[in-house]
């Protein structure tokens, strides 16, 4: 008999518990379960998470120059984002977790996110179907969208996309067909229920490539040079997003105007709305106060009936809300992370990051850690021995004749 025991250090346990608590309250906050929890509960959980991260850092007490530079960069971003969002908001907390989890195996981090995402996604949807919490129904012409217990139809779809991404990373070519089919049917069912088309398409891309690497040996490694083409994808997509938004129906070239008009139609007016927002609010070096009105519901289920104006493009949203400085810093850090992932030959992670760079052009929810755990990979820039795919463990092998303990990576 072989018994494998994974031994985690106290700092790692504290960090993962803090992450789990944060993800739970962050996901519940965008569901109708939020009406059962006073706001003070959310603040207490956030405070406890921060306390656990502080204890974890105090126990480690090992800082090289990279960790110090990373801490200073984290503090700078924390101040810029915090003054716009509040210093305990989801975005700000995500920034702190990127730094605090820099020395924790990404496999452990992603498993924590996977377990919580699957459990809460299932819990909320079942609760909505049973009538425990409201299942808001949006009818707009021929389009019908079930919110499934969430405060917006897109939230369950992006949660599932994060789940599909994590499974792709964890299982890679070892995924079982029943697991793949379960994810595929879940994506299709959510698409039928919520009509969240673009997120569904991204999930399909992930699922298709997961099958390809299962069927074709070394599929990604044989495409190594192709990955190099996309090394600057975050920078390029940020520039393209700005150019599309600024040029929309303003070009002297009729072909460009016609192309952007058709593309805008395919993207459900996303380019037009970004263009309108840029005209209204512009952008600055350190961000500006902007007022966007989306279709999300309040905790009580009340919809905002003001004129709809919301920017789904993450790059434009960062540019307007937080400023050119933070956008430049964000795409630079993401680009450096992608460089490191490709250099480490982590092909699946590289593919997920590249897809993330394109999906961010149509979906701002990529910004939030509970919808996109892959932000944690930025910690690899701080910690030189970052573990992308393996984790340190103690293995106890026990049979009738011997007992050994070993440590590996």
Could you report the per-residue pLDDT of 224-281, keeping only the tens digit for each?
788 999 999 999 999 999 999 999 988 888 899 999 999 999 999 999 999 999 999 9
Between 2 and 197, the higher pLDDT residue: 197
Q: Is the pLDDT of residue 407 over 90?
A: no
Cα–Cα distances in angstroms (integers) from residue 183 to residues 143, 169, 172, 208, 247, in the given order: 24, 14, 14, 11, 39
* 405: pLDDT strictly greater than 50: no
On the 0-12 / 13-18 / 19+ scale of CB atoms within 10 A, 184 is: middle
Q: How far apart are CA 5 and CA 393, in angstroms?
A: 8
The better pLDDT of the pair 70, 49 is held by: 49
Torsion of CA 113, 116, 121, 124, to 10 degrees: -150
Cα–Cα distance list, 327 to 34, 234, 238, 285, 378 (Å) = 31, 10, 9, 9, 15
Helix (H) or strand (E) holding 405: strand 403-408
Eight-state DSSP code of residue 380: G
Alpha-carbon distance of 227 to 231, in angstroms, equals 7
Nearest CA-CA partner of 30 in 119, 145, 159: 159
Residue-wise pLDDT for 131-156, tens only, equals 999 999 988 878 889 999 999 999 99
Burial (CB < 10 A; 0-12, 13-18, 19+), residue 24, is: middle
Query: What's phi and psi for 407, nearest 5 deg?
Result: -125, 135
Compute the distance between CA of residue 218 and CA of residue 223 in angstroms, rounded to an integer: 9
Distance of CA 212 to the CA centre of its chain: 23
338 backbone dihedrals φ, ψ, rounded to 5° = -60, -40
Burial of 406 (0-12, 13-18, 19+ CB in 10 A): exposed
- Report the chain's mean pLDDT, rounded to a whole number: 89
Residue 292 is encoded by which pair of tokens?
Answer: 């966007």
**393 phi/psi in degrees, rounded to 5:** -150, 160
Q: Is 361 helix (H, G, I), strand (E, B) or coil?
A: coil
Supply the pTM of this predicted model. 0.91
For residue 389, give both structure tokens: 């795919």
Q: Give CA–CA dist 330/381, Å, rounded.
A: 13
> Tokens representing 31?
């569901």
Summarised one tens digit per residue, pLDDT across range 343-398 is 999 999 999 999 999 999 999 999 999 999 999 999 999 888 898 875 433 333 34
Strand ranges inside 135-174, DSSP E? 137-140, 143-146
CB 166 within 8 A of CB 331: no
Give the range among 176-180, 256-260, 404-408 with minimum mean pLDDT: 404-408
30 phi and psi, to 5 degrees? -100, 15
Q: Could you tell me which of 196, 192, 164 has the C-alpha nearest to residue 180? A: 164
Residues near 104 by Cβ (< 8 Å), separated by ≥ 6?
12, 15, 16
Q: Is the dihedral angle over the CA atoms 85, 87, 88, 92 positive or is it negative?
A: positive
15 pLDDT exceeds 80? yes
Measured CA to CA, the distance from residue 235 to residue 315 in angstroms comes to: 10
Contacts of 308 (CB under 8 A, 6+ apart): 273, 293, 294, 295
DSSP letter at 245 equals: H
Q: Is 172 left (phi over 0), alpha (psi -120 to 50) or beta?
A: left
Q: How far apart are CA 138 and CA 130, in angstroms?
A: 18
What's the pLDDT at 390?
A: 57
Lowest mean pLDDT among 42-46, 90-94, 287-291, 403-407: 403-407
Return d(Cα 234, Cα 339) in angstroms, integer: 11
């Amino acid at each position: 008999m072989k018994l494998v025991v994974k031994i985690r250090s106290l700092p790692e346990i504290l960090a993962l518990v803090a992450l789990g608590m944060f993800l739970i309250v962050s996901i519940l906050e965008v569901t109708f379960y939020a009406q059962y929890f006073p706001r003070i509960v959310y603040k207490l959980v956030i405070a406890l998470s921060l306390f656990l991260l502080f204890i974890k850092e105090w126990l480690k007490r090992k800082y090289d120059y990279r960790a110090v530079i990373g801490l200073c960069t984290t503090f700078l971003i924390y101040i810029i984002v915090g003054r716009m969002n509040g210093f305990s908001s989801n975005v700000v907390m995500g920034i702190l977790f990127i730094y605090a989890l820099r020395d924790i195996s990404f496999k452990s981090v992603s498993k924590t996110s996977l377990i919580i995402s699957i459990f809460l996604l299932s819990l909320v949807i079942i609760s909505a179907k049973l009538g425990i919490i409201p299942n808001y129904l949006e009818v707009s012409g021929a389009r019908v969208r079930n919110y499934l217990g969430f405060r917006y139809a897109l939230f369950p779809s992006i949660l599932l996309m994060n789940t599909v991404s994590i499974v792709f990373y964890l299982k890679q070519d070892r995924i079982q067909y029943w697991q793949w089919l379960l994810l595929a049917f879940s994506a299709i069912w959510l698409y039928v229920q919520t009509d969240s088309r673009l997120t569904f398409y991204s999930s399909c891309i992930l699922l298709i490539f997961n099958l390809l690497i299962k069927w074709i040996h070394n599929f990604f490694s044989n495409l190594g040079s192709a990955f190099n083409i996309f090394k600057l994808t975050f920078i390029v997509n940020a520039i393209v997003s700005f150019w599309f938004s600024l040029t929309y129906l303003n070009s002297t070239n009729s072909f460009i105007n016609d192309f952007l008009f058709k593309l805008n139609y395919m993207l459900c007016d996303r380019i037009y709305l970004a263009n309108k927002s840029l005209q209204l609010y512009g952008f600055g070096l350190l961000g500006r106060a902007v007022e966007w009105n989306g279709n999300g519901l309040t905790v009580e289920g009340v919809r905002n009936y003001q004129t709809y104006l919301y920017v789904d493009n993450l790059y434009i949203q960062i540019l307007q809300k937080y400023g050119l400085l933070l956008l430049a810093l964000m795409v630079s850090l993401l680009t450096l992370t992608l460089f490191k992932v490709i250099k480490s030959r982590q092909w699946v992670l590289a593919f997920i990051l590249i897809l993330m760079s394109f999906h961010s052009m149509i979906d701002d929810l990529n910004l939030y850690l509970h919808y996109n755990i892959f932000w944690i990979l930025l910690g690899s820039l701080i910690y030189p021995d970052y573990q992308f795919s393996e984790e340190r463990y103690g293995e106890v092998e026990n049979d009738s004749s011997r007992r050994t303990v070993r440590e590996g990576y």
